[in-house]
Amino acid sequence: MKTLECRIDSGVDIEVLVSRLVIAGWAGRDAHDVEHHIRELEALGVKRPASVPTFYMVSPALLTTDGAIHVVGTHSSGEVEVVLIQSARDGLLVGIGSDHTDRRVESYDVAVSKQMCAKPVSAALWRYADIAPHWDSLIARSWRIEGDAAPALYQEGTLARLLRPDELIKRGFGATAMPPGSAMFCGTQAVLGELGAAAGYELELHDPVLGRSLRHRYMVDTLAHVE
């Protein structure tokens, strides 16, 4: 089980307990967008999935709200995703996170690759009930960070491109609601340009209706290799 120190709507501090973490893959609504993402990964040697969407169970210990993660080598990369968290006390909550993945391992075993890297998530959360009516208008973005250069836009798109939470929950958990203590990464947007590593990533979930954003920034520290 993983305990995260979070806050709801920038005002209420809570402890979030996660005992089950699911990563949804290839979760687009539009077949063309899904095919685009599959081909991005095929270019890196990742085999085409047998069916879509696909759900991977990973350790909740991988979740982190820290501003840095440690990886092995220079062949991992992040991707922005909405994160659903079912709190026993506070109901269904929404954060922004990154399914940071080892792309070399992904080329021969996707399920194992999901276990190789920490999964950053924002400490700030929203209540799902507050944004459910205009869910499709929310915009997920990421930027790649490299040295002293300004962050470069890496992904951007509305959540209308992805399956809605109720559909993902039904397919991923076989129920109308996620069990308390569970969390799910809900799929990503296609990248702008080529998929690749970076020194760090900035993530944003923007709500144009309520005029607010969830943000998280993390750096990627490469562990030294000792012979």
Token pair belonging to 79: 């991707």
Nearest alpha carbon to residue 181 among 63, 99, 97 = 63
Token pair belonging to 184: 């799910």
Nearest alpha carbon to residue 85 among 131, 156, 22 = 22
Domains along the chain?
Answer: 2-222 (3.90.850.10)
Query: Can you give the pTM of this predicted structure?
Result: 0.93
Question: Are the C-beta atoms of 86 and 177 separated by less than 8 Å?
Answer: yes
pLDDT by 10s per residue, the chain, length 227: 999 999 998 788 999 999 999 999 888 888 887 787 778 778 877 778 877 899 999 999 999 999 999 999 999 999 999 999 999 999 999 999 999 999 889 888 989 999 999 999 999 999 999 999 999 999 999 999 999 999 999 999 999 999 999 999 999 999 999 999 999 999 998 899 888 899 999 999 999 999 999 999 999 999 976 55
Dump the DSSP string for 50-85: SSSSEEEEE-GGGEE-SSEEEEESS-EE--EEEEEE
Token pair belonging to 224: 């030294």
The one-letter amino acid at 34: V
